[in-house]
Amino acid sequence: MLEKFTVIRGRAVPLRGEDIDTDRIIPARFMKVLTFEGLGKYLFYDERFDEKGNPKPHPLNDPRYQGASILLVEAGFGSGSSREHAPQAIKRAGFRAIIGESFAEIFFGNATAIGLPCVTLAPEDLAVLFQAVEENPALEVEVDLVSKEVRFGGRTAPLFILEEAREALVEGLWDPIGELLQAGELLDQFDRRLPYPRRSE
Amino acid sequence: MGKTLYEKVWEAHEVRKLKSGQSQLFIDLHLLHEVTSPQAFGMLRDLGLRVRYPHRTFATVDHIVPTHDRTEPFQDPLAQSMLEALRENTKEHGITFFDLGSGNQGIVHVIGPQLGLTQPGMTIACGDSHTSTHGAFGAVAFGIGTSQVRDVLATQTLAARKLKVRRINIEGKLAPGVYAKDVILHIIRHLGVKGGLGYAYEYGGSTVEAMDMESRMTLCNMSIEGGARIGYVNPDETTFAYLEGRPYSPKGAEWEEAKRRWRAMASDPDATYDDVVTFRAEEIPPTVTWGINPGQAVPIDGRIPLLEELSPEERPLAEEALAYMGLRPGQPIKGVPIQVAFIGSCTNARLSDLREVARHLKGHKVKKGVRALVVPGSEWVAKRAEEEGIAEVFREAGFEWRNPGCSMCLAMNPDRLQGDELAASSSNRNYKGRMGSPRGRTVLMSPLMVAAAAVTGEIADAREVFGIGR
């Protein structure tokens, strides 16, 4: 049984910046790996560390945000490559949800498929949430995928997420492999009907 | 009411609806490379699954291969282990692998079309966002993550949702010295890097109809930089002429039948679109980037915008970009010194790209102090370029002529920028750190503009450097 994501509760870390691309989330040189294990420590590596490996000022290095499990981002998050290494690194660094203004298409799909909910808020609500978390890093934030709202500091803001993705997360259907496999015979019909590439003789 | 190609392809491949409301979509052709596939094979193993239709998956190695010395074992043991994992995985599962030295190795988005594997009306998936390239043939082609690579290997399907379709018309004749690369940079500059979210882009109009297949591939390749996961061009006689006689193209009686089928897949004249945008070819200049995403671009004879000319939303990123690039608001982009010139990548490393540059580069020399590289898109492209004397033109001009791969475009091999070097590049992404140095800088442009920068040692107008259209 896959985990059912209904309410995700935790502290949030504010990560400002538009169009944060997957090369920033995880630089390509850390993808020379055969598994996803341990990728969490390379999350935003070049933003967090200088060329000698010394920490730079960055929300993820800020002691006040240690242990946060919700990532706050702005618009166009996850643009660029299809590397699943990006959401894998975020998840493996301990994050359980991302709240932003908008997400790149492939990133969103990859995140959903590994059980990392990405939800959006209206820009004005997101601005309030950013400010609240920056003022009070200990603030508890709740992402409620059932009632479709984000709650923090006595406020409630409606969240948006593709309905198919929400269903999949809430019902524990976010990894589709089981259901895809059930198509069985139907797959062979399509394989016969769609002739190319040909089976090699 | 008429349908778009996207809708027709979708309908022909929709296996069924899933409980979540997504569709189960059949994938005709699956392409693999070494970076995004090893975990997928691991997941198959963990689940005790096999590859369901091995004849529908083809693999090559491109991201991590050294382009200088390909002797094995590679100096980088991690790179070597990735190559070996792919060799073993493809062997175990009966998947065709175009290995180094096979004559067919190359960048995955160069070899698919070159071999005739990419065909109109297909669904094509690959664990690589530039899979949109294959849309040039009227295929619905898109990048997927590694878990989806697993899904395709195990079932030849994936869970997908239908996108909206935006028709992008480009009408008129491109000026001399203006290429498909400029067209797509111009489109992204105007529609933005988020403009394509939720859309498939259908490119058409007289400019696109007049383009050869390799130009169409350049155009579709960078759809993803505009936020669109899919970009395509309707198949036509140009498409068929390119495909005829290629190793995996239909042969004999099947060829005529295939053409009939492919023609029918094109968008109907009365198809409706969710959005339509039109550009005039005459208004498209040679375009170069100045910032840290492909939308931050200007005409070659333009200047970097002043902050007050930008919307409040654009300003923070512009300030970040200027600080990173070491450029000033209002500064002309022309004349900015470069240290590296890179011609390569799945955007612009095909034979026609290299031919066009060589035609103008003859008799010129790379400026002293500039490191200039040409990385052909595939072993086949490299071989043809040698035969045609193109490689020699590059070498004589002072370019290093390398072996095929992705190379410096994302620097997973030894080719990378040092420190804050600035590269004139024919690749597709100018993100921070993209070319391997956390402080390295990238300016995107057409291959001919890269050659002009290599020759002058600064961002330059190729039309002036090579006397084009004067």
Domain residue ranges of chain A, discontinuous segments joined by +: 7-174
Q: Are residues B448 and B414 in the same domain?
A: yes
Is it the case that residue A43 has pLDDT exceeding 70? Answer: yes
Cβ contacts of B76 on chain A, cutoff 8 Å = 32
State the Cα torsion B64-B69-B75-B80 to the nearest 10°: 40
On whether the CB atoms of residues B341 and B371 are closer than 8 A, the answer is yes
Residues ≥6 apart with Cβ < 8 Å to A110: A82, A84, A86, A87, B145, B146, B147, B148
By Cβ distance, the residue of B15, B317, B411 closest to A18 is B317
Q: Considering only CA atoms, which of B144, B129, B30 is closest in space to residue A110?
A: B144
- B12 and B155 within one domain: yes
pLDDT in tens, A101-126: 999 999 999 999 999 999 999 999 99
Asked if B444 and B366 sit in the same domain, the reply is yes
Q: Are B59 and B145 found together in one domain?
A: yes
Give residues 58 to 77 of A whose Cβ lies within 8 Å of B. Answer: 75-76
Structural domain boundaries enclosing B145: 5-160
How many separate domains does chain B show?
3
Asked whether residue B470 is assigned to any structural domain, the reply reads no
Provide, as residue numbers in chain B, all residues whose Cβ is less than 8 Å from the Cβ of A82: 36, 127-129, 131, 143-145
Q: Which of B160, B181, B209 is the last residue of a domain?
A: B160
Task: Note whether residue B146 is domain-resident.
Answer: yes
Q: Which two tokens stand for residue A70?
A: 């919700």
Whether residues B191 and B150 fall in one domain: no
Q: Which of B138, B160, B182 is the last residue of a domain?
A: B160
B173 lies in a domain? yes
In angstroms, the CA B30 to CA B63 distance is 17
Q: In the Cβ-directed half-sphere of A153, how many Cα atoms lie within 13 Å?
A: 15
Cβ contacts (< 8 Å) between A194 and chain B: which residues?
12-13, 26, 28, 122
pTM for this structure?
A: 0.97
**Amino acid symbol at B464:** E
Do B365 and B226 lie in one domain? The reply is no
Q: Give residue A18's pLDDT band: very low, low, confident or very high (50, 70, 90).
A: very high
Return contacts of A151-155, CB within 8 angstroms, 24+ apart: A152/A12, A155/A128
- Token look-up 């209002």 returns B330
Phi first, then psi, for residue A152 (nearest 5°) are -160, 140
The reported pLDDT for the residue numbered A146 is 98
Same domain for B206 and B243, yes or no, is yes
For the four alpha carbons of B183, B187, B189 and B190, in that order, the dihedral sign comes to positive
Q: What is the pLDDT of residue A1?
A: 80
Chain-centre distance for alpha carbon B216: 10
Q: Crossing angle, helix A105-113 and helix B146-155, to 10 degrees?
A: 70
Cα distance between residue A150 and residue A128, in whole Å: 12
Give residue B90's pLDDT. Answer: 98
Give strand pairing partners of B159.
B24
Residues B123 and B195 in one domain: no
* DSSP letters spanning B369-419: T-EEEE--SBHHHHHHHHHTTHHHHHHHHT-EE--SS-GGGTT-SS----T
Together in a domain, B320 and B423 = yes
* Mean pLDDT, rounded, of chain A: 96
CATH number listed for the domain at residues A7-174: 3.20.19.10
Q: Which of B283, B315, B345 is the last residue of a domain?
A: B283
Residue B470: the pLDDT is: 65
Q: What is the mean pLDDT of each run of 10 residues along chain B (470 residues)?
A: 96 96 97 97 97 98 97 97 98 98 98 98 98 98 98 98 97 98 98 97 98 98 98 98 98 96 98 98 98 98 96 94 98 98 98 98 98 98 98 98 98 97 98 97 98 98 93
In this complex, the residue of B64, B129, B158 whose CB is nearest that of residue A81 is B129
Percentage of chain A exceeding pLDDT 70: 100
**Radius of gyration for the alpha carbons in chain A, expressed in angstroms and rounded:** 19
- CB < 8 Å from B in window 134-193 of A: 162-165, 167-168, 171, 173, 175-177, 179-181, 183, 186-187, 190-191
Residues whose CB falls within 8 Å of the CB of residue B225, separated by 6 or more in sequence, listed in order: A80, B184, B188, B193, B293, B294, B295, B428, B429
Which pLDDT score is estimated for A200?
72
Under 8 Å between Cβ of B256 and B262: no
* Residue B52 is assigned to a structural domain of this protein: yes
ipTM value greater than 0.90? yes
